[in-house]
Structure 1
């Protein structure tokens, strides 16, 4: 626990801000290009608003200098009504601008989420074995959702501030260049500290997102079915709560720091904003006494000064917002830049319906460059025959079967199906030919029917029932309150191990593949469930090429070929009768593991 809490500390100096390169900016801009017409409308609203916003202060000047001294009620009413009308138009433009900017930012967010989800789907199992589920969830959700403010506020505010600043400065200089110079003299004090504040906010934002990922990781692990059971069985609720509480507090502390960073800087800006009008009143009063300016001009100057200081203040804060946005973009692009290790070759062929011949030719495989898992694996499997893979745990049996549908790629050698290298065919057409029944079957938290349709989305009701009868699960399903519409719960928790296994077998039967992989499908079942599974396997394996990782003697005896795997190599191969009489590894396995299962 102490170690976990210690990991919560971090050093800001270890986090480096990203370099804003042309490549990064171009990459970010590419998400805005599809919506360029709406962006032009937003810019149009900003330009019109920045110009119309100048009119009310000018009208105030004319009210004070013309309408009131002349006691002209008609002129006074005209100026007031025009001012009110412009205020209403500005409000409508603001609503339109907000709608358009939100619409664009939301659609960019949707696009990025879709791209991220699609990209992650194509990642190999190596990626998922190393990545934290909480990290994946954070980058797909909160990271991407965080960048919607880039256009919704940051970009729009920047454009608005620039147009307002330029238009206001022009009007001020036109009215009186001396007074304008006095008003602008304090502007540099707004800009100088922004780099330091932006860098600090970047560091805090980066670490904040990392801690949110860790928090999501704790939530996902402890509130999954397996995690919840493990926590309860080992009575670790208090320990997990303490871990969550510490991490949650760290996230809150970081978010508080992020929200208040630069407050002293903003306080300084606020002070100078208050000083500006006083300078205008002082120097403007002097010019009025000298007869160079009117009272209306002084009041209009003070009103316009707010339009001058506000955009400069916003632009200085935008630098801070941009650095925070870059933290999110960097994290998102890191995932987008993850190499897709397994993908279709440019000229990949569509694998048509196969017979089911499988050949491993001097296959080598490693999860990383340092440790080899498989060495020089070679064997051939005829169509429609069964191969039993036996060996100690960790010998490489599951790895061999994972290579057939290209869940991993070989690093040397080749795997062929019907004499066609599997790397030369499309992944989709390859995997449609293969069905897998895993040791721990996975069911979605949905109805039994929808879980079955995962094998064939357009399956008819008769096909579903037929598959379930073949898997010896139909009669059980009909005893449930809602039959096939029964929701199975998270990971199928409402079903027993044997029931889940038979549902997964029915799902594969619906898929109707030519090659079947059974990963220790009966190793953890009771004798009754095993008997049902064995019966269900008869239609599943009939006339199909099958690879069975088995610890059951009955499965091994039914196989056409046995591969004995040891330390990532094929130590022996042949039929049961010949291998059991050799003084080799299979005989040892038979004596220690299989022989006791004979009846």
Structure 2
């Protein structure tokens, strides 16, 4: 199987490079649009198809309970099950195609940007050898992270927004009261993510600066003098502490979001169950709404992850642009200006 993938991958080449991957003083949204070009349109079309295919099983679940099972119709049950399986396979195939396309776009952007950064590094190597460590970090992990975001940015946003619109529209059509409860239940997740993202951005910028500093220390002086070695070990310790703080904040946020999501599902179940008891809706509708809420919370979480990744990639891109421009901000501090 791996040989098949290797053969297919061998036929892929980067799309035609743009004149300059990174322009002096360029803003991150402009870079994303310019670097990926019309490919974002094509992958977004696939993304919309993925979202619509993901929506189909919601109504099929309702029909299985309210039609096939309620009427004890085995033929209808098997027919709906077959349609459900087809919808699953369609969604999986489209999503696989989208992910591969996203990866190809992202890697093409990374390749083009890396060509430019390698040229800049070569031109500076003779006069700026003291900063060769941070050069390796920029051409390696930093541009990988930025390019990876470019590959998935617009299409991921499109697929999740499409899912949310289709699911919300369906839920409002079927039962507005439960739809309102679902929407209100998602608000705490959004507010928490927006509130905590600035702190995450600060930690990301600090981490990038520290890793660059350690690279310079390791390349130029780590084995030379004891005071410089001790300085390098202090930097390593700072990287560790900063990363642990990042984990506490990032995964603490994820834990709070998971709790809010679970409470949202519980609220949908309670309100839906009450309406069933009052004869104002059916069990199949409640089952569909619980599934629909999960399908609504997933793209909400994905959009919040998109916002977090975008914010962090924007920080890294700004620092790369500063390096290309020849501006070296303080190694462990934060740059004086932010990018819009």
What TM-score comes out, normalization by structure 2 length? 0.81
Structural mapping, 1:319-468, within 5 Å: 319-338=307-326
SS in 2 for 1:70: coil
Aligned to 2:34: 30
Distance, in Å, in 2 between the alignment partners of 1:86 and 1:183 is 24
Structural mapping, 1:171-190, within 5 Å: 171-190=170-189
Distance, in Å, in 2 between the alignment partners of 1:69 and 1:280 is 22
- Write out per-residue CA displacement over residues 476-517 of structure 1, whole angstroms, 9 at most, x where no aligned residue: xxxxxxxxxxxxxxxxxxxxxxxxxxxxxxxxxxxxxxxxxx
Per mean C-alpha deviation after superposition, the further-off stretch among 252-261 and 73-82 is 252-261
User: Do the aligned partners of 2:186 and 2:261 also contact (CA within 8 Å) in 1?
Assistant: no
User: Do the aligned partners of 2:58 and 2:292 also contact (CA within 8 Å) in 1?
Assistant: yes
Aligned to 2:240: 252
Which structure dedicates a bigger proportion of its chain to strand?
A: 1
User: Do the aligned partners of 2:109 and 2:147 also contact (CA within 8 Å) in 1?
Assistant: yes
Aligned to 2:213: 214
Structural mapping, 1:43-58, within 5 Å: 43-58=44-59
Aligned to 1:193: 192
User: Do the aligned partners of 1:139 and 1:331 also contact (CA within 8 Å) in 2?
Assistant: no
Distance, in Å, in 2 between the alignment partners of 1:52 and 1:316 is 22
SS in 2 for 1:111: helix
How far 1:29 moved relative to its partner?
A: 2.0
Q: Give the structure with higher Rg (CA).
A: 1
Structural mapping, 1:2-401, within 5 Å: 23-33=27-37, 36-37=38-39, 39-123=40-124, 128=128, 132-222=131-221, 231=224, 236=225, 242-338=230-326
Instruction: State the Cα RMSD in Å.
Output: 2.5
Structure 1's 76 and 50: CA in aligned 2 closer, same or farther, altered over 3 A? same
Distance, in Å, in 2 between the alignment partners of 1:157 and 1:52 is 15
- Write out per-residue CA displacement over residues 361-401 of structure 1, whole angstroms, 9 at most, x where no aligned residue: xxxxxxxxxxxxxxxxxxxxxxxxxxxxxxxxxxxxxxxxx
How far 1:304 moved relative to its partner?
A: 0.4
User: Do the aligned partners of 1:119 and 1:336 also contact (CA within 8 Å) in 2?
Assistant: yes
How far 1:209 moved relative to its partner?
A: 1.0
Distance, in Å, in 2 between the alignment partners of 1:59 and 1:330 is 47
Distance, in Å, in 2 between the alignment partners of 1:73 and 1:216 is 67
Distance, in Å, in 1 between the alignment partners of 2:266 and 2:237 is 44
**Structure 2 residue ranges without an equivalent (≥5):** 1-24, 328-340
Distance, in Å, in 2 between the alignment partners of 1:124 and 1:217 is 13
User: Do the aligned partners of 1:105 and 1:151 also contact (CA within 8 Å) in 2?
Assistant: yes
How far 1:199 moved relative to its partner?
A: 1.0
Distance, in Å, in 1 between the alignment partners of 2:195 and 2:216 is 32
Distance, in Å, in 2 between the alignment partners of 1:60 and 1:193 is 32
User: Do the aligned partners of 1:161 and 1:315 also contact (CA within 8 Å) in 2?
Assistant: yes
- Write out per-residue CA displacement over residues 390-440 of structure 1, whole angstroms, 9 at most, x where no aligned residue: xxxxxxxxxxxxxxxxxxxxxxxxxxxxxxxxxxxxxxxxxxxxxxxxxxx
SS in 1 for 2:161: helix
Which structure dedicates a bigger proportion of its chain to helix?
A: 2
Aligned to 2:10: none
How far 1:31 moved relative to its partner?
A: 1.0
Aligned to 2:18: none
User: Do the aligned partners of 2:109 and 2:150 also contact (CA within 8 Å) in 1?
Assistant: no
Structure 1's 122 and 315: CA in aligned 2 closer, same or farther, altered over 3 A? same
How far 1:152 moved relative to its partner?
A: 4.2
SS in 1 for 2:185: coil
SS in 2 for 1:132: helix
How far 1:250 moved relative to its partner?
A: 2.2
Structure 1's 305 and 195: CA in aligned 2 closer, same or farther, altered over 3 A? closer
Distance, in Å, in 1 between the alignment partners of 2:124 and 2:36 is 26
Structure 1's 28 and 67: CA in aligned 2 closer, same or farther, altered over 3 A? closer
User: Do the aligned partners of 2:62 and 2:284 also contact (CA within 8 Å) in 1?
Assistant: yes
- Write out per-residue CA displacement over residues 39-82 of structure 1, whole angstroms, 9 at most, x where no aligned residue: 33321221111111111121111111111122211111111111
How far 1:124 moved relative to its partner?
A: 9.2
- Write out per-residue CA displacement over residues 200-247 of structure 1, whole angstroms, 9 at most, x where no aligned residue: 111111111111112212221258xxxx6xx4xxxx5x6665444332
Distance, in Å, in 2 between the alignment partners of 1:114 and 1:32 is 16
Distance, in Å, in 2 between the alignment partners of 1:254 and 1:201 is 11
